[in-house]
Amino acid sequence: MTYLLIFIFGASIGSFLNVIVCRLHSGEKIIWPRSHCPACRQVLNFFDLFPLISFLFLKARCRYCRKKISWQYPLVELGVGLLFVAAWLVEASGGGQTPGLIWFLVSRDWLFISFLTIIFVYDWNWSLILDIITIPAMVVVLLVNLLLGVSWLSLLIGALVGFGFFGLQYLISHGKWIGEGDLRLGALLGLMLGWQNIIVALFFAYIIGAVVAVILLLTKLKKKDSLVPFGTFLSIGGIIALFWGERIINWYLQLL
């Protein structure tokens, strides 16, 4: 029952994150006006907004104008729901922690997942990482980690590693390889993860990015000179490092 409740909560948060992403792009306020169909602008009733269920019940079409509903909505809801459950499982299996501390850590992970989901979806759709998300997120994640007792030095070094890694590439390529948003996302990940886990995040981001790029080229969905939104892969790498970064590092050190 706990897992189901967490999943429902996560899917509901995913639904709200969809709203944030779409309204950041359209320029609308986040809270107002009420949720509406982007095609016909009809205000949606509460029974049109149940995460996953409404999409399936309506057969992926608006109740009022019958325009297709983007698959982004249920996929984000499903993904965030599953990630929220995964965060609970990872933190609860850590051992040696009080229930109160576990909930604090889980809540922190949920917050970080939410930030990274917004960045992932927005960058995937429009190849842009917004400062209006990354800069406030830096402040929030820094304060949260400090409150949880994470070393400020580790966070500072992590931010410098993330920013410097992309900053060097930006300078060498004169902005052709990566955009300025990647620099700030690198700093954000460093403040989320600390200096060791940021390395894990970068490693997996490049591995996953390379695999996806090859698949897109082979399927001719992208051309060689096409832009691939790297912020999406950084977000995935960040979540992997958030969940399993320390275990991956310990496993690697044991192999040495």
Per-residue pLDDT of 140-150, as tens digits, reads: 999 999 999 99
DSSP letter for 224, please. T
Largest Cα–Cα distance of the chain, in whole Å?
A: 61
Domain chopping of the chain, boundaries: 1-93, 96-256
pLDDT in tens, 30-55: 877 788 888 788 888 877 788 899 98
pLDDT at 224 over 80: no
Q: Which amino acid is at 171?
A: L
Q: Which amino acid is at 9?
A: F
Rg (CA), the chain: 19
Angle between helices 180-218 and 152-173 (to 10 degrees): 70
Q: Which of 18-32, 125-139, 196-210 shows the lowest mean pLDDT across its residues?
A: 18-32
Higher pLDDT: 177 or 239? It is 239
pLDDT in tens, 163-207: 999 999 999 988 788 888 999 999 999 999 999 999 999 999 999
| Number of Cβ within a 10 Å radius of residue 166 | 24
Indicate the pLDDT class of residue 225, thresholds 50, 70 and 90. low
